[in-house]
Amino acid sequence: MAKDPIKISDSMQQMLHKFRLKEPMARYDIMTTWEGIMGKVVANHTLKIYIKQKCMYVHLDSSVLRNEFEMSKTKIIELVNKEAKMKLIADVMFL
């Protein structure tokens, strides 16, 4: 008796869930799509991004951008979590 075919995307999602790779993959996706989330100007001033323990650290070379982003942390967290399709980060630090 033949089994019903399974979509590759469903199979991949099951594998990511089983091996607990969903969050690491989401972190990688956010770091690689940073320019698409925040725009080219911000990406050009971003030196380094990493996510550790639900906190995203963004190193910027502009103190003006750092100040501006400090005032709009909530919006940035929402954008990142929306792009990740999960609650990936709870805080963001601009360094």
Question: What's the one-letter identity of residue 56?
Answer: M
Kindly report the pTM of this predicted structure.
Answer: 0.80
CA angle, corner 78, sides to 70 and 33, nearest 5? Answer: 90
Residue pLDDT, tens place only, 18-75? 887 888 888 888 888 999 999 999 999 999 999 999 999 999 998 999 999 999 999 9
From residue 51, give the alpha-carbon distance in Å to each of 26, 27, 48, 93: 10, 7, 11, 10
User: Cα(93)–Cα(69) distance, rounded to whole angstroms?
Assistant: 9
- Give me the pLDDT at residue 48, please: 93
